[in-house]
Amino acid sequence: MSVFIDQADIEVRAGDGGDGRAGFRREKFVPKGGPDGGDGGDGGNVIVEAGYNLTTLLDFKYRRLYEAQNGEPGGKAIKTGKSGADVLLKTPVGTLVLDADTGELLADLDEDEKSVIAARGGNGGWGNVHFKSSINRAPRRANKGQPGQARKLTLELKLMADVGVVGFPNVGKSTFVSRVSNARPKIADYPFTTLVPNLGAVEWVKYKSFYIADIPGLIEGAADGKGLGHQFLRHVERTRLLIHLLDPAVYEQGRDLVTDYLKINKELERFSADLVKRPQIVVINKSDTITDKAVIKQIEDQFQDKLDLTPRFISCATGEGIESLKKFAGYELETIKKED
């Protein structure tokens, strides 16, 4: 399994254009041959392209400098020099390409095979054949090739998930994602087991699916850098729908579910005012641990009275409510897409 890296700083340098040639024909029986200097070849570009077969920016952690090939100089007999080869950098779909110095967004590579020229190669210089005229039949002038563009880039990955799963640590986000999708995250019984977002595909009806991602380490104060969530909140920015997972065990810790729900939403709002406005499905996990049915009614009444929300109850341990939740989320997504 590859290491998940979602941000990288690199330097790219496009190729310089080749110099034009200042040359003259040397032919037998032609005492005064004219100019025949060819143009220089163009420098290669540095291109960044997205691909669905990639999931991390790990390659860019170990190599920081990428240089395209220079163009070759012009040749005799008005021959243009060979252009420099491009350099193609492959990144996961969902990668933002930014100018590291200015912060300018150069491209949002949100589709498979979408690309951007991050550094453009220099044009080749003109050979002296271009400068021949009626008053200057033997020009000795030729242009130098132009330098290629060089810049520092920041690559920032935002997962292309349709549904984001948020909630406090240990509410069962990773287990939930593993139950509904093809993702197989590491799962254990201690806080911050999940150190990276997990992305998986969910087939909610035959031949229909959506992508889901969980966000690890989201706690109160995450927007200020507490826990791990502040590193990964960017990965739910593209989602159309949020599943807000809650654990009824918080009652034993002197908390209540509505308060937990509001705390997480506050962190989402502090990170992005738009993010907290996304539609949310409130899901109470570990329903198999609730032995007193009156508690279920109490939880439903709390959300209805205070937030006008209807929570759904599931159990990742037993599978209760999982299939109906998948279908509910799928239909919700279809509705949202139609309204967009």
Residues whose CB falls within 8 Å of the CB of residue 226, separated by 6 or more in sequence, listed in order: 219, 220
Average pLDDT, the chain: 87
Question: Which alpha helices (H) appear in 140-291, and where do they start and end?
Answer: 173-180, 229-232, 257-271
- pLDDT grade, residue 80 (50/70/90)? very high
End-to-end Cα separation, the chain, in angstroms: 36
Distance of CA 288 to the CA centre of its chain: 37
By the 8 A CB rule, do 286 and 248 touch? yes
Pairwise CA distance, residues 264 & 276, whole Å: 10
Q: How far is CA 331 from CA 173, 282, 309, 319, in A?
A: 21, 15, 18, 20
Q: Quick one: DSSP state of residue 277? A: G
Residues of the chain with CATH 3.40.50.300: 163-339
Per-residue confidence (pLDDT) for residue 46, from 0 to 100? 98
Average pLDDT estimate for 198-204:
88
Share of the chain above pLDDT 90, in %: 57
- Comparing 71-80, 207-216, 325-334, the range with the smallest average pLDDT is 207-216
SS3 13: strand
Per-residue confidence (pLDDT) for residue 193, from 0 to 100? 46
Domain 163-339 belongs to what topology?
Answer: Rossmann fold (3.40.50)
SS3 128: helix
* Residue 39 confidence (pLDDT) above 90: yes
- pLDDT grade, residue 183 (50/70/90)? low
Residues whose CB falls within 8 Å of the CB of residue 249, separated by 6 or more in sequence, listed in order: 286, 289
**CATH code of the region 7-157:** 2.70.210.12
Read off the pLDDT of residues 271-327 as tens digits, 9 standing for 90 and up: 888 888 999 999 999 999 888 888 889 999 999 999 999 999 999 989 999 999 999
* Residue 226 confidence (pLDDT) above 80: no
By the 8 A CB rule, do 68 and 132 touch? no
Residues of the chain with CATH 2.70.210.12: 7-157
Per-residue confidence (pLDDT) for residue 3, from 0 to 100? 62
Indicate the pTM of the whole model. 0.77
Pairwise CA distance, residues 328 & 321, whole Å: 10
- Comparing 44-48, 181-185, 268-272, the range with the smallest average pLDDT is 181-185
By the 8 A CB rule, do 93 and 111 touch? yes
By the 8 A CB rule, do 77 and 27 touch? no
